[in-house]
């Protein structure tokens, strides 16, 4: 366990005394295991770090409502404690959004983004959500708002603790476009063409924002295309490392 701001952070680290290291960050509601399916292929040759992000897996929740920069600062603190250099950073979805900030703030050799959102999604409110918002404004009904949130909110929101719900809301309402423009590392953007969580149009928008980047679409892939085409993902990362 790693202690950061009195929070216990769970992580898996394989030290091969290599000059190169891979750091894997999972998506929202996931854990180390979801990235280990990919990371295990590199554990005999490189240093490999996989992190249970705070509030996920076996890591404790933040004590306050963290923003994405807070998560990036925590990851950097762990990386520095392990004295890792020449990092290839691999992030899926929420972890990818954190990776964008990390790569903009700190030096990385390569960046791999797996279906990573970067902007605030503008969605049309459903009638149910509109009714909920109005009810929450009525004082005598506000005490029922928590129960209503569980019925109206997304699956991620409903499954989260009160603290992590606030973190999730902050995450989805954070635009990291300016960070994308600061990334200098070669970047591979992997995306499923049938991703209904974060549409593939976001991949090509990211490609325009990140100077040295390229999109690799996975035909028919979903938000978890990187796992659905595990062998292909491993081959791409391996090729990036051996350039």
Walk along the chain (243 residues) and give the pLDDT tens digit of each residue: 999 999 999 999 999 999 999 999 999 999 999 999 999 999 999 999 999 999 999 999 999 999 999 999 999 999 999 999 999 999 999 999 999 999 999 999 999 999 999 998 755 444 444 444 554 555 554 454 454 444 444 565 567 788 999 999 999 999 999 999 999 999 999 999 999 999 999 999 999 999 999 999 999 999 999 999 999 999 999 999 987
Q: What percent of the chain has pLDDT over 70?
A: 85
CATH of domain 2-120+174-241: 3.40.50.1820
> Which pLDDT belongs to residue 160?
77
> Which pLDDT belongs to residue 156?
58
> Which pLDDT belongs to residue 243?
79
> Which pLDDT belongs to residue 99?
98
Which ranges in the chain are annotated with CATH 3.40.50.1820? 2-120+174-241
How is the chain classified by DSSP, letter by letter? -EEETTEEE-EEEE----S-EEEEE--TT--HHHHHHHHGGGTTTSEEEEE--TTSTTSPPPSS---HHHHHHHHHHHHHHTT--SEEEEEETHHHHHHHHHHHHS--SEEEEES---S----PPPHHHHHHHHHHTSGGGGGGHHHHHHHHS-HHHHHS-HHHHHHHHHHHT---HHHHTT--S-EEEEEETT-SSS-THHHHHHHHHSTTEEEEEETT--TTHHHHTHHHHHHHHHHHHT-
> What would the pLDDT profile of 80-102 be if each residue is shown by its tens digit?
999 999 999 999 999 999 999 99
């Amino acid at each position: 366990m790693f202690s950061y701001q009195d929070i216990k952070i769970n992580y898996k680290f394989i030290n091969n005394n290599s000059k190169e290291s891979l750091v894997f960050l999972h998506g929202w509601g996931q854990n180390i295991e979801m990235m280990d399916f990919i990371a295990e292929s590199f554990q005999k040759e490189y240093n490999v770090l996989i992190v249970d992000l705070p509030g996920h897996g076996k890591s404790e929740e933040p004590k306050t409502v963290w923003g994405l920069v807070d998560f990036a600062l925590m990851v950097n603190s762990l990386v520095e404690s392990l004295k890792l250099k020449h990092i290839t950073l691999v992030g899926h979805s929420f972890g990818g959004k954190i990776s964008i900030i990390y790569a903009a703030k700190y030096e990385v050799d390569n960046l791999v983004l797996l279906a990573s959102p970067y902007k605030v999604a503008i969605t049309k409110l459903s009638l149910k959500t509109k009714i909920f918002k109005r009810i929450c404004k009525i004082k005598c009904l506000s005490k029922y708002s928590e129960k209503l949130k569980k019925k109206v909110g997304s699956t991620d929101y409903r499954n989260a603790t009160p603290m992590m719900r606030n973190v999730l809301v902050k995450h989805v309402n954070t635009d990291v476009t300016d960070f994308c423009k600061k990334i200098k590392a070669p970047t591979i953007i992997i995306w499923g063409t049938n991703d209904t969580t974060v549409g593939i149009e976001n991949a090509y928008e990211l490609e325009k924002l990140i100077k040295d980047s390229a999109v690799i679409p996975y035909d028919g892939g979903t938000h978890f295309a990187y796992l659905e085409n595990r062998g292909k993902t491993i081959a791409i990362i391996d090729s990036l490392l051996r350039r």
